[in-house]
Amino acid sequence: MRTRLKKKFTEGEVDCPADIEEADWIYLCNLWQDKDYKLKCGKYKVSRSKPRIHHAAGSRAFYKIKEGLNHELPELWKQTHYSKKRKSWTDGSKDVYDKLKQVKDQSMENGSTLLSDEELSRTVLGHKSG
């Protein structure tokens, strides 16, 4: 409903629609004109446009899956992003899995110290602040 109302507002309709209280309409009009709100909406829009990789673990916590299965990161990734029921990967997750395996195997071949799961995830997925 809010989207429909905002569309009316941005198209220049400033009269309160019949199906909404006038106080609510005034609040929304003020909100949509607020500079900070517009800035926040712009950030959310950019965030929503970025590609996401969904998991197939359902409501199970990842740490519980890892704890119970004692998997290293590539196998944990497979466990949480591959659906045995559908026999398919979630969007883009197969590429990440392959890259995790490749980087891990390369670090083992070079004879260097094995990468921890955290180092491996940063190498493949990048660092996420926060």
Positive/negative CA dihedral, 12, 16, 17, 19: positive
Ranges in the chain, pLDDT < 70: 1, 11-13, 51-52, 54-66, 68-71, 112, 128-130
82 SS3 class: strand
- 17's torsion region: left (phi>0), alpha (psi -120 to 50) or beta? beta
- The C-alpha atoms of residue 88 and residue 81 are separated, in whole angstroms, by 9
In percent, the amount of the chain with pLDDT more than 70 equals 78
pTM, rounded to two decimals: 0.53
